[in-house]
Homo-oligomer: A and B are copies of this chain.
Amino acid sequence: MKPLSRKLTFQIPLPTEEDARSDRDRVLDTLRPGFGRLEMDLSVTRMLYPAIRSAGGQITVTMLWQGEAWHLTRVEAGDTTAFHYGLAADLGSTSVTMELVDLNRGTVAARASRYNLQREYGDDILTRIFYGKDDPEHLLQLQAAAAETLRLLMAELSERSGVDASQCAAMVLAGNTAMVHFLLGLDAFPLFHSPYAPVTAAPGFVPAAELGLELMGPVFLYPARANYMGGDVLSGIVATGLGRSEGIRLFFDIGTNGELVAGCRDFLVAGAGAAGPALEGGVIRGGMCAGQGAVEHVSIRDDAVELEVIGGGVVRGICGSGIVDLIAELFLEDVLDFRGRLQPEASSRVAEVEGELAYRYVDGDRTADGRPLWFYESDIRRFLETKAAAWTMVSYLMEAVGMEFSDVEGFDVAGAFGTYIRWQSAVTVGLYPDLPKERVRCVGNASLEGARCLLLERSHLEELDKLLRRMDYIQYGAIPNFVETMQAAAAIPHLDLDRYPCVRQWREERRRARAQQKTDGQNTAS
């Protein structure tokens, strides 16, 4: 473990008539043999004299490796090496999560998460982009909201841990390109329209005060490879070690956008596309974010629906993992055909509602107003289109590098969605490839993890530089046969069922089970 920051305590030589070097020179000259290029700015220079004087020359310096030089970020009197913390943050458009990391022990001392206060200016990123467009006043508001969110998290971490988070040596933050633009006070509008050139892709180390944060050290912002291949993905790649892997791995981050990176230590290709809010329950009627009252998991056997509801109690809607389960279960139960059409004759729960077929996945006795919840065919279609876009992206990328799924050693799925989704359901709907379960790994908030990894191991800075240079970014704008590929991928799990032997088998097992039950039922009845 070689953390991004180091704390060193030593006795600086006191000045004499013969050696009246400045305090600054005496500190830098002492450190230089071990550390090479060193930088110290005015705010740290101001700490020198009081610190040196108050402890008879015994001081502790905090140094941060910034890629080309060590920067002194703090000078304290006496030996304070026992206190050595950093902050890791994932700046999401919905939620922001932060960790207080003990850099001496390599452990997480506290973690906190809260909604991004920017939601006041728009639930989704696009609304916020338009809110800030060409409007310096609004850009300031967006910046302040992000900063305030981070400040509140720091305060929460301080309270929970008893460690003053503002005394941390540095913060490493990962976020998508738009979120980073907002935090920097930059107009994110160019991210929205072709050719999607950001204002800056690699802001690097930024003084905390310039972001409106009170922190002893600077904030490092994970760089982006391109507009849709933001710092959050790069952070995830660092966390999963894809760029250091011997075998080929896939990294898939499913959120508002879907980002995919495939590769190993020899090559890296990346692509991204709008996965769409369908996967997050955004545009589905009754869809909701994972929270109190959301259907998280669904099992269906013989027309009986079994629900797992977050927090138990009354059902309010269905979140992403529930949607994937529901569609997978309907398909395996033959209530849904491979084109996503509901089969009224296969279930008493299918009915025409508001002019289209829908499936009653929650009965009235479990809702607050006594009305059942329906899942509509048009919602299923929307989900499948989004899934097809993601799949097309994946398959195009694999084709571009001449890979097949069987070549893939591991498949890392990032994001909260990836954590809660059932592997079998994801394979069934064709969201995951038909790979052995053990090759699929849910890596959770890989963006946050990558931020922590960099805090704890500074060599990742160099790795990042290499990753950015090596990574080929594929634009999906001009994919040949895009429509045909999409159409095939919009089927459940795919028009070419040979790609999904597992799903075929599972469906057959279900059919046999249903037939058996029917027989048993008839036998019992007779």
Contact = CB atoms under 8 A, between A and B. Distances in A.
Interface in A9-24: 15-17, 19-24
A333 B214 CA distance: 71
Contact of A200 (B48, B186, B200, B477): B48
Interface stretch (A190-198, A278-286, A483-491): A190-198
A199 B22 contact: yes
Tell which of A21, A50, A199, A227 has the most Cβ of chain B within 10 Å. A199
Given A49-B186, A475-B17, A477-B17, A42 B195 contact: no
A140 to B, nearest CB: 11
Nearest to A227: B20
A199 B16 contact: no
A67 interface: no
Nearest to A43: B210
Given A200-B45, A203-B45, A23 B190 contact: yes
B210 A23 contact: no
A25 interface: yes
A22 B195 contact: no
Chain A contact residues (Cβ within 8 angstroms of B): what range?
35 or more
Contact of A42 (B22, B49, B184, B189): B184
Q: Which of A42, A190, A227 has the most CB of B within 10 A?
A: A42
Contacts of A207: 42
A20 B196 contact: yes
A206 interface: yes
Contacts of A206: 41-42
A226 B50 CA distance: 20
A204 to B, nearest CB: 9
Nearest to A197: B15
Contact of A20 (B20, B22, B226): B226
Nearest to A187: B49
A201 interface: yes
Given A49-B186, A184-B46, A195 B23 contact: no
Interface string A169-213: 000000000000000111101100011111111110011001000
Contacts of A194: 17
A160 to B, nearest CB: 30
Given A43-B210, A186-B49, A16 B203 contact: no
5 contacts: A17-B475, A23-B190, A45-B184, A45-B186, A49-B190
Interface of A: 15-17, 19-26, 41-43, 45-46, 48-50, 184-187, 189-190, 194-203, 206-207, 210, 226-227, 475, 477-478
